Amino acid sequence: MTEYKVDQQRRNLVKGLGAATLASSVMPGSLFASEPGPTAVIIGAGIAGLSAAWDLRKAGFQVSIFEKEKFTGGRMVELQTGPLYGPTHAEGVFNENREMFALAAELGIEKQVRGEAYDQVWNPDDGIGLDNGHGIYYPGGMSDFDIENTMKIPGLSRETINKLPLLQADMDEINATVDPCLLETGTAYDNESVGEYYMRMLGKVAGKEIIDYKIEQNCAGWGWDPFETSKIALLSWLASKKQFVYPRGGIGALTHKLDSLLPVQNNTTVRYITPADSNGRHTVHYLNENLERRSVTPDVVVCAVEGKYLDSMVQGLTPKQQALAKNCFFTKQPVVYWVLDDKYASEEFATGAYTSSHPDPIKAQTYHWMAMPGYPQFNQPPYVRYSLTRRYTPEWQNSDMAIEDYCWPMIKSLYPRLEKSHIVDIVDYTSDSLIHMPVGYVNQMAEVLREQRKQRKGLYLAGEYVAGAHTGAACASGRSVARDIVGHWI
Ligand SMILES: Cc1cc2nc3c(=O)[nH]c(=O)nc-3n(C[C@H](O)[C@H](O)[C@H](O)COP(=O)(O)OP(=O)(O)OC[C@H]3O[C@@H](n4cnc5c(N)ncnc54)[C@H](O)[C@@H]3O)c2cc1C
């Protein structure tokens, strides 16, 4: 076992349950307490890693969690970004999240995590409707496709309206058979893109209308192309008819709680993991908080980092894992905030949301913009926010322009009151951490999980990239991998 800073180790351990006992029994130079039970290093303190760590610890594992950032929660965190404070990625959770709510209940914070329903936070009459050039309508959340409501979208042809009920049987079947939090249950539907699906089911004209007015918008924020995205990645949400909820007190409620109870070592970056030795154990090579190179060889390693890092981090992936890692990439969501001097703040909330098929070429380039008056009580300055639509992202990327310069003419046209002299800060909120799920990905994921379940291993994969593109799936993945490990080891 390599040298380790005992002070840091103690500090981390005392955050955990039973801290008093653990802190007194830590072996000098060891990451783990001198207690019976297998040892596990979990890499990544996002919801997947934390959920896995919690369940493993309950089952008697000695766990240690390595997190490269100084904060815990991964893409489920709220942070100060320049003058803005709030969620940096995920904001709400699907009501479908059985595992997440069960975990929250176990920790005594279920009510907080179940939070407020989308409809209670955003009143459809507030005007946050979508404009497709024919009228403004409320398209529903990301997570549902209600036939009755979809029929009311302005501009739909009679043919489309008449054909929409043809979709119901598939939605019912998917709703009954696919768990959106464990997408491996949807392999049977991973055979075509969501775009191809609607074209096949509804025909060219009606299929295109539904994609333009509803599906493209569901995909826009994720940078997903409907004709490349596996239909089940999206239909598993759309068929579920469940609400999207905003946890009370913010998205970080659950990860904060887990962080307070578990030994997370922040500022600890894993460099690589070696293939299994003759005892089936992997060595994790990492930089500690002082940027010193260290290594540790626990019984079990759980790799719960963003999927795009898998290939470079884990040496000796199996052919199935390698295939998944090569297919795992992230898309972009370009967003910019212009922070305003208080005296130029919009007096009230102003917003616009458009389909990318909108006949006005300026409106077609954003799927959402808004002007916020600012909330001094939350220390939130006024700002104007612009989200570039997926279709225009490549044009911006090829332009060599900063996002704020590229988007300036469009926001100026949509919100003429904005002047450069009113701006005190610009925050580039462009994210490139949205996983893509192309056709075939879910099947690859399921193959990896089947292989992982077969027998006891020294290394397990967990996280969104082996479950589905949302926090509930990542949480379910962490809990499910912990069950596999416990089954193999205890
Ligand atoms: C812009 C955006 C908006 C989203 N909105 C929603 C939403 O509203 N609702 C929803 O349910 N989902 C949403 N999601 C998806 C959701 O955020 C993710 O699916 C989920 O948080 C992934 O959890 P995870 O634990 O698998 O990964 P992560 O949360 O990414 O955790 C991985 C952790 O590993 C750490 N790590 C990486 N490399 C190393 C290393 N070398 N050493 C040590 N640690 C390392 C990372 O720092 C991170 O903390 C959104 C995602 C994005 C990008």
Pocket lining: 304 vs ligand 1, CB cutoff 6 Å: yes
126 and 150 belong to one structural domain: yes
Say what the pLDDT of residue 143 is: 63
Would the pLDDT of 387 be above 80?
yes
Decide: 66 in ligand 1 pocket, CB within 6 A: yes
In-domain check, residue 109: no
**Residue 388 half-sphere exposure toward CB, CA atoms < 13 A:** 27
pLDDT for residue 95? 84
Tracing tokens 């409106």 back to the chain, one arrives at 363
Contact (CB, 8 A) for 284 and 295: yes
- Indicate whether residue 46 lines ligand 1 (CB < 6 A): yes
Q: What is the pLDDT averaged over residues 176-196?
A: 96
Q: For residue 25, name the pLDDT band (cuts at 50, 70, 90).
A: very low
Tell me the C-alpha distance between 360 and 378, whole Å. 36
Q: pLDDT tens for residues 310-325?
A: 999 999 999 999 999 9
Separation of 45 CA from ligand 1 center, angstroms?
Answer: 9
Looking at the structure, tell me whether residues 406 and 359 fall in a common domain: yes
pLDDT mean over 376-393:
92
Query: Could you identify the atom of ligand 1 that is nearest to the CA of residue 75?
Result: 29
The kind and range of the H/E element at 427 are: strand 423-428
Q: What residues pair up with 137 in beta bridges, in sequence order?
A: 130
Assess whether the C-beta atom of 43 lies below 6 angstroms from ligand 1: yes
- Are 241 and 123 part of one and the same domain? yes
Report the DSSP pairing between strands 335-340 and 383-388.
Answer: antiparallel
Q: Are residues 293 and 356 in the same domain?
A: no
Residues 238 and 160 in one domain: yes
Phi first, then psi, for residue 338 (nearest 5°) are: -100, 115
Check residue 375 and give its pLDDT. 87
Q: Quote the pLDDT of residue 123.
A: 52
Q: Is 51 in the pocket of ligand 1 (CB under 6 A)?
A: no
| Binding site membership of 414 for ligand 1 (Cβ less than 6 Å) | no
Whether ligand 1 lies within 6 angstroms of the CB of 442 is answered as no
To the nearest whole percent, how much of the chain has pLDDT over 70? 90
Residue 468 near ligand 1, beta carbon < 6 Å:
no
Least confident among 2-11, 71-80, 172-181? 2-11
pLDDT of residue 259: 97
pTM (2 d.p.): 0.92
The answer to whether residues 130 and 238 belong to one domain is yes
Same domain, 146 and 184: yes
Answer with the one of 245, 269, 292 that is the final residue of a domain: 245
Q: Residue 17, Cβ neighbours under 10 Å: how many?
A: 12
Helix (H, G, I), strand (E, B) or coil at 245: strand
* Cα 64 to Cα 83: distance, rounded to the nearest angstrom: 34
**Pairing assessment for the beta strands 264-265 and 62-66 based on DSSP bridges:** parallel
Ligand 1 centre and the CA of 341: distance in Å? 33
What distance lies between CA 160 and its chain's CA centroid? 33
Q: What's the total number of domains in the chain?
A: 3
Using one digit for the tens of pLDDT, what is the confidence trace for 344-373?
Answer: 999 988 999 999 999 999 999 999 999 999
Q: How many angstroms separate the alpha carbon of residue 273 from the centre of ligand 1? A: 20
Last residue of a domain, one of 198, 216, 245: 245
Is position 355 within any domain? yes
Atom number, ligand 1, closest to the C-alpha of residue 44: 34
- Determine the average pLDDT of the residues in 399-417: 97
Q: Is 142 in the pocket of ligand 1 (CB under 6 A)?
A: no
Atom of ligand 1 nearest to the CA of 469: 19
Q: What is the mean pLDDT of residues 85-109?
A: 93
pLDDT confidence tier of residue 35, bands split at 50, 70 and 90 = confident
- 266 and 152 share one domain: no
* 361: in domain: yes
**CA–CA dist 198, 189 (Å, integer):** 13
Q: How many CB atoms lie within 10 A of CB 315?
A: 14
Ligand 1: which atom is nearest the Cα of residue 471? Answer: 11
- Would you state the pLDDT for residue 120? 55
Structure-model confidence comparison of residues 376 and 461, the more confident one: 461
What pLDDT does residue 141 have? 59
Average pLDDT, the chain: 90
Is the beta carbon of 363 within 6 A of some atom in ligand 1? no
Asked whether the predicted pLDDT for residue 470 surpasses 80, the reply is: yes
Dist. CA 199 → ligand 1 center (Å): 32
86 in a structural domain: no
451 and 317 in a common domain: yes
Q: Which amino acid is at 361?
A: P
Nearest CA to ligand 1 atom 5: 90
58's CB contacts (< 8 A; 6+ apart) are none
pLDDT at 4 > cutoff 60? no
Shared domain for 131 and 238, answered yes or no, is yes
State the distance from the centre of ligand 1 to the C-alpha of 136, rounded, in angstroms: 33
Sign of the dihedral defined by the CA atoms of residues 64, 65, 70, 72, in that order: negative
Please work out whether the CB of residue 92 comes within 6 Å of at least one atom of ligand 1. Answer: yes
Q: How far is the CA of 9 from the centre of ligand 1 (A)?
A: 25
| pLDDT confidence band for 16 (50 / 70 / 90) | very low
Residue 195 structural domain: 119-245
Distance 74 CA to ligand 1 centre (A): 5
Q: Is residue 484 part of a domain?
A: yes
Could you write out the DSSP letters of every residue in 350-392? EEE-B-TT-SSTTGGGEEEEEEE--BGGGTB--EEEEEE-GGG
- Domain stops at, among 245, 271, 300: 245
- Least confident interval from 57-61, 113-117, 233-237, 434-438: 113-117
pLDDT tier at 306 (50, 70, 90 boundaries)? very high
Which residues is 131 bridged to in the sheet?
136, 354
Three-class secondary structure assignment of 120-136 = HHCCHHHCCCEECCCCE
Cα dihedral sign for 75, 367, 402, 225? Answer: positive
* pLDDT at residue number 94: 87
Beta pairing partners, 372: 383
pLDDT surpasses 60 at 182: yes
Q: Whose CA is nearest to atom 4 of ligand 1?
A: 90
CA distance 100 to 115: 13
The stretch 236-258 carries a mean pLDDT of: 88
Residues 159 and 228 in one domain: yes
Q: Which atom of ligand 1 is nearest to the CA of 330?
A: 53
Give the pLDDT score at 117.
66
Using the atom order of ligand 1, give the atom closest to the CA of residue 69: 47
Supply the CATH number for residue 301's domain.
3.50.50.60
Are β-strands 366-372 and 350-352 bridged in parallel, bridged antiparallel, or unpaired? antiparallel
**Whether the CB of 163 sits within 6 Å of ligand 1:** no
Q: Is residue 106 part of a domain?
A: no
Both tokens of 171, joined, read 């939605």
Is pLDDT of 13 > 50?
A: no
The Å distance, Cα 77 to ligand 1 centre, comes to: 9
Which residue lies with its CA nearest to atom 19 of ligand 1? 470
Query: Can you tell me the mean pLDDT for 147-157?
Result: 93
Is 84 within 8 Å of 337 (Cβ atoms)? yes
Residue 262 belongs to a domain: yes
- Pocket probe for ligand 1: among 116, 295, 470, 477, the residue whose CB has the most ligand atoms within 8 Å is 470
Kindly state whether residues 313 and 444 are assigned to the same domain.
Answer: yes
Pocket of ligand 1 contains residue 93 by CB under 6 Å: yes
Residue 402 forms part of a structural domain = yes
